[in-house]
Amino acid sequence: EIVMTQSPATLPVSLGERASLSCRASQSVSSNLAWYQKKPGQAPRLLIYGASTRATGVPARFSGSGSGTEFTLTISSLQSEDFAVYFCQQYNKWPLYTFGQGTKLEIK
Amino acid sequence: EVEMVESGGGQVKPGGSLRLSCAGSGFTFSRYSMNWVRQAPGKGLEWVSSISSYSTYMFYADSVKGRFTISRDNAKNSLYLQMSSLGAEDTAVYYCARGDTTSLTDYWGQGTLVTVSS
């Protein structure tokens, strides 16, 4: 099983600040890495796939980078609606998806 | 607009059974694989089961193998998860998620809560 490790677990940030979230895979997943945003009571929303491609309708302030085992989600200037839990997922081998534990963005 | 809506969750006693449903709309259901993913309270997401577009292939996590059965009815644009021999460890929000041709889970439902408790 590919283990996905996200850090930090919680990230306090201020409005307008830049946030960088990390995701590490225990073995290479190539670029088969996705990032999702999760708010309470809502469906997970796909933000980034292929490690760096924004999904339809996702604002340009969200960007993804990395390949292999190290990945980063960057939110360039945090808006109020961005405070949520973010999790990464590897989809390198269907259907053995594995997910990170999530990073919660909190208002500082 | 692509949408998935789960139903069928609720409270069930240990050892009991429950059947979850997921209704898809806004896309050609039969063209996509479908997946169930769950999140237990305070825990991360866990893949549960997947089914290919015409039910040729079905896969299960070791934690549910032999107890859960995934199925679909393309004529009704619906996905199902029959769960039996439920235990406290199965308490979770269950999500259905569409899988595209690269196996990316691009759209998810809002989830349905299953609580296993006496």
Q: What is the pLDDT of residues B63-113, one digit of tens each?
A: 999 999 999 999 999 999 999 999 999 999 999 999 987 888 999 999 999
DSSP string computed for B1-26: --EEEEE--EEE-TT--EEEEEEEES
Distances (CA, A) of B35 to A19, A43, A63, A64, A88: 31, 14, 26, 24, 17
Nearest-by-Cβ selection for A34 from B35, B44, B104: B104
- What percent of chain A shows pLDDT beyond 90? 90
Residue A104's pLDDT band, with cuts at 50, 70 and 90, is: very high
Residues of A within 8 A of B60 (CB-CB) are none
Q: Which long-range contacts (CB under 8 A, 24 or more apart) does A39-48 make?
A: A39/A84, A39/A85, A41/B110, A42/B110, A43/B4, A43/B95, A43/B107, A43/B108, A43/B109, A43/B110, A43/B111, A44/A87, A44/B95, A44/B97, A44/B108, A45/B108, A46/B104, A46/B105, A46/B106, A46/B107, A46/B108, A47/A73, A47/A86, A48/A73
Residues of A within 8 A of B111 (CB-CB) are 43
The answer to whether the CB atoms of B50 and A102 lie below 8 A apart is no
Dihedral sign for Cα atoms in the order A28, B35, B4, B86: negative
Tell me the per-residue pLDDT of A34-65, one tens digit each, with 9 for 90 and over: 999 999 889 999 999 999 999 999 999 999 99
Nearest-by-Cβ selection for B104 from A91, A99, A101: A91
